[in-house]
Amino acid sequence: MVERPGKNYISERAMHTQDLSLFSGTASHELTAALARNLGHRVSPSGVERFPDGELSVHLDEAVRGRHVFIVQSLCPPVTENLFELLLFVDACRRAAAARITAVVPYLGYARADKRHGLREPITASLVATLLQAAGLDHLVTVDLHAAQIEGFYHLPVDNLSAVSLMCDELKHRLSPGTVVVSPDAGRVATAGDYARRLDATVAVLQKQRQTGAETKVLKVIGDVRDRPCLIIDDMITTGGTIAHAVTALLDAGARPDIMVAATHGVLVAGARERLRHPAVREVVVTDTIARPPSDSSQPTVVSLAPLLARAIRHLANAESISDLFR
């Protein structure tokens, strides 16, 4: 952890929810407002200025000395700008003598860059961890990391919460009887198993091969999906290519044209919604880790993570265990 000369430390046991400050980055205003309502706490005033030359500036509009500060900011597009804004928030809180700084980053951008694929590439997820720690972060709370080993890049506590329980509460009344939970690749098998356990379903796995950073090819469906409705799960939907290929592969394997899609992070870049518009896809369900444009006429069904994140903040502010949030 980065040392902070002259920092005013206070006991975590002395902290309570009334001793916390809750700030929102510009990427997460709606989620932070929902969090505040669940907490029965207000969002602390702050401002972000964007100068004509592209520079950013952050100012806190209330004192945070001796307080536990929570900053909510998803690293969604524009990812680099939102990351730098978060760094400025952390630095501002550190210089204002906050007792403890926790970043609540529901969607952690750059998480797919967790290793090198060539000799002359950066490990960007590691660099993000270095930057946040250098800025003065004490604790990171995130949801459904793309790669769990990213926690190892941080020399501070990381709580990687899961949206599966909330997603299943929403899905169990929407799924057709006999639905098979489908993992889009080997990396999501454990998550698919968690969905299946909660939904009392079976699991199938797609064996795929990545062609480029944005394109994949499904080679084989492992499991029985013939004449069965399917639920394709994933941690994120970015271009929609993986889901589109998965739908085609399942239908080719004899699956019923009754397919649901569930993913924690609906990044949904340009063109993604078009790829998801398949007659067999009945519904797409995501969470609110990434805000949806108000003008978007093709909105997926959104499950709010505000109750889960509010419970985490309440427990952390009171220095209580959050292990029950992982069940």
* Cα–Cα dist 242/235, whole Å: 12
* Cα–Cα dist 195/172, whole Å: 10
Q: Angle at CA 305, nearest 5°, toward 97 and 21?
A: 20
CB 205 within 8 A of CB 192: yes
Q: Where are the domains of the chain?
A: 12-162+307-326, 164-304
Cβ within 8 Å of residue 58, ≥6 positions away = 46, 47, 48, 49, 85, 88, 89, 92
* Cα–Cα dist 41/19, whole Å: 11
Residue-by-residue DSSP string for 176-236: PTTPEEEESSGGGHHHHHHHHHHHT-EEEEEEEEE-SSS-EEEEEEES--TT--EEEEEEE
Class of domain 164-304: alpha beta
CB 99 within 8 A of CB 62: no
DSSP class of residue 77 equals: S
Residues in the chain with pLDDT values less than 50: 1-15
* Cα–Cα dist 293/133, whole Å: 31
208 annotated active-site:
yes
At 5 the pLDDT is 42
At 9 the pLDDT is 38
Q: What are phi and psi of 48, to 5 degrees?
A: -125, 120
At 14 the pLDDT is 41
At 119 the pLDDT is 82
The domains spanning 12-162+307-326 and 164-304 adopt the same CATH topology? yes
CB 315 within 8 A of CB 141: no
| Dihedral angle sign, alpha carbons of residues 246, 247, 249, 250 | positive
The amino acid that residue 243 corresponds to is I
For 235, what's the count of Cα atoms within 13 Å in the CB-facing half-sphere?
Answer: 23
Render pLDDT for 113-135 as a digit per residue (tens, 0 to 9). Answer: 999 988 899 999 999 999 999 99
Catalytic annotation, pick one of 7, 115, 172, 208:
208
CB 284 within 8 A of CB 255: no
pTM of the model: 0.89
* Cα–Cα dist 317/68, whole Å: 7
Domain 12-162+307-326 in CATH 3.40.50.2020: yes
Residue-by-residue DSSP string for 44-69: PPEEEEE-TTS-EEEEESS--TT-EE
